[in-house]
Structure 1
Amino acid sequence: MTGAPVPYSPEVETIEPGEQAVQQELAETFRKIIETTYADSGLALRGVHAKNHALLQCELDVIDGLPAELAQGVFGSPRTYPVLIRISAGAGDILPDSISLLRGIGIKLIGVEGDRLAGSEGASTQDFLLASGKAFPSSDPRKFLANLKLLAATTDKVEGLKKAVSAVFRTVEKGVNAMGGESQTLEQLGGHPNTHPLGESFFSQAPVRYGAYIAKLSLVPRSATFKALEGKDVDIAGRPDALREEIAQTLAAAGGEWELRVQLCRDLATDPIEDASAQWPEEENPYPPVAVLRVPSQPSWTLRRARMLDEEMSFNPWHGIEEHRPLGAVMRARKVAYAASVDLRSRLNGCPIHEPATTDLPA
């Protein structure tokens, strides 16, 4: 690694004129998606990542002996956190897995101490939201809004066409990958490879405060069970919930582990805060491990678990402590949009959304 990590200060963020108006328009677009799916199903779903593939009880072990620059925030000392995780698909409506969308993973640590971010007072949780792909599909909130409007316009419409488009995009994406590239736009629109989610690597994409510093996070398969699934194709033919079924089959037989890694910001020119679509160079600044996420063998999906995590809880990068404050324009936009979405889901479903005190999940 070259260069000392950039110290965190509020000055690393640059708030542009007009941000608030874009944030409100994002919240309005999320509202339209939620109201559309509510009218169809009678259930207010998340505006994005509505479909879950797995709902899991886990533990996060912080590695002992981390160097000072990595021993920050919740990773400041060796300990074990109880964790809930939710693995999901990117769309705001429930689609068959033949429409192959990017994946997300929501990680909720329980028993976290520290000064709370505004809006999460009184809780003791820390959420990290990661997705497949190293960079966010949009560089700024305006482009995020344009992409979200495209998703909103196709919510609950023309499923057969979506399947056909997804198949084409997957083929194109394979060509991009073969040439050493990655297209977040193609993957967002249905071109994600139909691979096993437990073999997936996930990324925070946008930066967060990392105690005294700034970082991006990643989650990478560590155990032999999960490594064996990296890049493994899943047969989706005639199986609308193929990914959920594959995860259930794997975790019924054995558990596994991911490694949580951190890439520190070392140069604001090459590791920008405000452009969420920029990948920070890794050649001389890789992601070293800071914790191990252990996933025991368990039933990975049940209707009771789905009701609990989908209707009674939310995952939000702004649920947490100041030492892990989300950074950059996209993260600031998500704060407004996610809060409005949670309020709407709670009201429509008649079910208060709350932060859990334990990882106890129903069978």
Structure 2
Amino acid sequence: MRNNAIIDPQTIRRRSSIAAVAISVAATVIAASGEARADKVATKSSSAPAPATPSPPPPAPLGVFGADMAAAGKLVLSVIPQFANLSTSLIGTRPVSSQEIAATVPYFFNPTQKLRLVPQNAAVATQTVALAYGVTKELSVVFTAGMIERNLDMLTFRGLAGIIPRGMSYTGTAGLTDFTLSGIYRIYQDPIHRIQLNAGVTFPTGSNTNTFTLLQPDGTYATSRAFYAMQPGAGTFDFMPGVVYAGHLEKWSWGVSYRGRFPIAANRQGYLWGDLHEFNGWGGYTWIPGLTTTFRVNASIQGPIRGYDPNIRGRAQAANPNFYGGERIELFGGAVISGKFVGYENVTLAVEAGAPVYQNLNGPQLSKNWQAGMALRWKI
């Protein structure tokens, strides 16, 4: 028979203590290992880079409306001075002399008489303030207001006929422009392309009854209502729809746009400007972040003035509502420069200048020589 071993109580207590210590050490090791793994995971998670915010697309040229939008909840204030010069009358695409106009072009109110006042040069200076606010990521609103000054050099011929000059007049008008309120809505966007619609309304805040003083064929001076082109405002509510497609890839950007201006009804004086259709195509190159140069082609088509103001009666081509509108193609070069180069991150300067390469005008009508402008923008 096998004898059973007898273990004394002290031995049992000693073995139990050893087992308890072993279990405690094992639990501590396991806990420490778990904490180390958790810390490692946490460290790895915290060191992982956050997803990069996509950079905004390169800016469009200064003369394009509806391509750039204010960020959601942000306000952009812009001050935009622009200047233009006109001279040399055209009938269609053909330049005509002042003597030819005085000898052959009939007076609007009396076709048996000829014109006696012929414009030589016109200068236009506009100061516009624009406020753009990003309502949402896809919607912005834009309000514009401004002042305009027009100066005119006019040659007067003697008597009721003939081509003998009487002398020159230097006159002009100035006043508020028509205010505008527009909305821009993005309907599509991917990493390269975007499509945006815009629609706006002009308000007749600019006067269309300004007067000026001109030398008359008999040698006297007379003050009368200024010509249509000399008025600061149109006197009408106009609807302005538009659409923009723009894209960019690495340092290159491009786009096309359309915008129209359509008077809704005649003004109190009995006329409305012809419908205007304006098209743009452009390309840009970003040399370094914050410096983009642009090239733009602009084409516009506008009809003649419909109706007439009976108080605009001067014997000059600009008093004839049929001698307005036509077709024009212009080329512009420009640049958009970030203020970060001089320590102003929220400021941007845009500049652009250009000249026509084709004009087919309802005339005789002064043709455009050049146009230049800039915009100083503050992001608030």
Q: Please, what TM-score do these two structures have when normalized by structure 2?
A: 0.24
Q: Which protein, 1 or 2, shows the higher relative CO under an 8 Å CA cutoff with sep ≥ 6?
A: 1
Higher helix share goes to which structure? 1
TM-score normalised to the size of structure 1?
Answer: 0.24
Higher share of residues assigned strand:
2
